[in-house]
Structure 1
């Protein structure tokens, strides 16, 4: 199997990326932020031509709950 040359070199320095990653580690995600992300995910993954709207995606996020695993 051929060796991958990219694995033999060190990654380039990316100070901007390192700073952004450090900042991201300190962000506290609220329930409202999670709800907005879930609605965006539902809306973004809806099939083209479906009748799903952003408002209906938000409503679905508030109604649908995951079941806890049975122990």
Structure 2
């Protein structure tokens, strides 16, 4: 299943669209750590400290807001 991962950082909110739920679970397991990272498009991406994280099934309709 794919969806959108929503990551809250100290000064940013990051939306990762079209991500597998397994990747979201990997990020969620690192929630609260100083360096959160995962593999996206065959590259390791580091987000820094992330807390909390949320999951939205499917894609976000940016024109409507969800």
Aligning the two structures, in what range does the TM-score lie when normalised by the shorter sequence?
Answer: under 0.3
- Give the TM-score normalised by structure 1: 0.20
Greater fraction strand: 2
Q: Normalised by the size of structure 2, how large is the TM-score?
A: 0.20
Q: Quick check: which one's helix share is greater?
A: 1
